[in-house]
Structure 1
């Protein structure tokens, strides 16, 4: 089976949807293809997804984790390395902590479970592109439990803000809450154009590359509390 594109205009947001279950794949495809703002390409296997990435990559990757010929974490890692600007969201039935943390650590920006699909998946993808990090409530609890369960760490670590400025802490908290860059700027009274610069500084100091990694690392180090 070759990757399938719906033929939407090139000006639309390019989405690569990777899902091996045909009914789920086409349900998501139809929900995303209805608005003219999306151009959706579908793939059912890891091999098809790799072929569909092309030379420029999609603007958004939506992927399952359990694929017939491999694990979605491999695809997430490869996509993040090749196309750093691609937004990546996992849509999976796998809710175990290992899968969740692995996907986030290699570059997933959002993670929702198939049994917790939002009623408007198109709106969720638009939020992702706008800078939000959609994460199912149960997945957020996984992340919190994981950070609280680190050996030798207190369940409620004291805040350690020495590595970041107060402004960076405020922005990091906004990222953790899923606010868009515009929301963060408005809340803090900043120019929208200055927020990406602060976020680059946060990434550099925490030695991370994505919002998901930044939030995980900040929680793990006790930089912020949710």
Structure 2
């Protein structure tokens, strides 16, 4: 069994302790370092080369957004999972755009956190459905992007638009398969096609595209 090497970045010692208590006992996880600010997070990431950084947004010296960008530029094999609160959701899309592999709200359960860490370390992206709804409430009035034009240029089929909309709502492949009454393998094929046609790096960027293009609304 592989052991994923994790770096915790949060300026609150009690938060880091809580995460360590959840993560360290797992047989497939090892907490290799803790950072109390963004600059320290970047330096430790460069020194330790962790598989994953759990990144807070609001930190002194360098915030999580800047730290995420620097880490991913200097350590391309390292992934970043952003942890946020409702009040800071306006930073999340920017963090995802610079390469973070997903985000969770800080009040996520231990089960959700462990599942997210394993998913990201395994090469997937994580967008918590509850966080997606909150993000929409904050971002829809102010989001600026060319999502609609990108969508038009991609030439997506009606089914692909349906799948993209459900991805934007935070549904997993099995959930999309149930919703559309499709085989999961068919959903995976649609997701691969969406990534290629929209030139998106990963599932997270598909979520952003769905939001910016208006496929996802508060009501949905």
TM-score by length of 2: 0.71
The 5-angstrom pairing of residues 22-101 of structure 1 reads 22-41=13-32, 42-54=34-46, 57-83=49-75, 86-93=78-85, 95-101=87-93
Confirm whether residue 165 of structure 1 aligns to residue 162 of structure 2: no
SS of the residue corresponding to residue 66 of structure 1 reads: coil
Q: 111, 115, 122: which one pairs with 2:103?
A: 111
The 5-angstrom pairing of residues 102-141 of structure 1 reads 102-114=94-106, 116-120=107-111, 121-129=113-121, 131=124, 133-135=126-128, 137=130, 140-141=133-134
Aligned partners of 1:18 and 1:49 also within 8 Å = yes
Q: 210, 213, 216: which one pairs with 1:218?
A: 210
Q: State the Cα RMSD in Å.
A: 3.6
User: How far apart, in 2, do the equivalents of 1:190 and 1:49 lie?
Assistant: 38
User: How far apart, in 2, do the equivalents of 1:83 and 1:184 lie?
Assistant: 33
> Which has more helix, going by share of residues?
2
Aligned partners of 2:127 and 2:204 also within 8 Å = no
User: How far apart, in 1, do the equivalents of 2:193 and 2:136 lie?
Assistant: 23
Gaps of 5+ in 1: 1-8, 152-156
Query: Are the structure 2 counterparts of residues 32 and 123 from structure 1 closer, same or farther at C-alpha, using a change threshold of 3 Å?
Result: same
Aligned partners of 1:107 and 1:212 also within 8 Å = no
Gaps of 5+ in 2: none
